[in-house]
Homo-oligomer: A and B are copies of this chain.
Amino acid sequence: MPQTMTEPSPVRHPTPPPPMLPQPEADPGPVAAGLAVERVDTSFLEALIGYNARRAALTIIATFIPRMAQFGLRPVEFSVLTLIGHNPGITARQLCATLDLQPPNLVGMIKGLEKRSLLEKRDHPNDRRAQGLHLTAEGESQLEQAQATALALEIDATPRLTPLERVTLLRLLRKIYQPDA
């Protein structure tokens, strides 16, 4: 079954809210109602790869969205255009299999990008049911700028990672979602 991981948003910091310090009282009394939580302990969640991967992905997507807005491209649309650009003639079915999308959800996206003259459908060379997808000249141009933006924003979104750490991170993440690799 298809993907998921909706859009994010500026992403709220894991920063604990204004502490709400427990008043140093003479007698705290019994722990009846309990004490206020000063600092939130997230140690267990932080030990889970799934939790950390999700938070990291959302952080980067939060930077991705506003910067790609200038091209009118959402994350999935960027991925679709990129795959078409690097694989002229790719079919909708191949896009779905590669990006883990449901065919019905790709239809509208393709229509929209086609209406914006970023891509076009052509006859498939050996399957009349399918259609080969190709970028238009404008699509190529837009994608080129969008890709440059994507590469730059990733660096900005992960300023504390060294070049070597980025390479390591990419390798480890691929080992998770790629059966082979």
Please list the residues of chain A having a beta carbon within 8 angstroms of any beta carbon in chain B. Answer: 1-17, 20, 22-23, 33-37, 40-61, 64, 75, 79, 82-83, 86-91, 93-94, 96-98, 100, 122-127, 132, 134, 147, 150-151, 154, 157-158, 160-161, 165-166, 168-170, 172-179, 181
Contacts and interface: CB of A to CB of B under 8 A. Distances in A.
A126 to B, nearest CB: 6
Nearest to A178: B14
Contacts of A123: 33
A58 B6 CA distance: 11
A37 B89 CA distance: 6
Contacts of A10: 1
A21 to B, nearest CB: 9
Contacts of A157: 49-50, 176
A59 B165 contact: no
Contacts of A174: 46, 52, 56
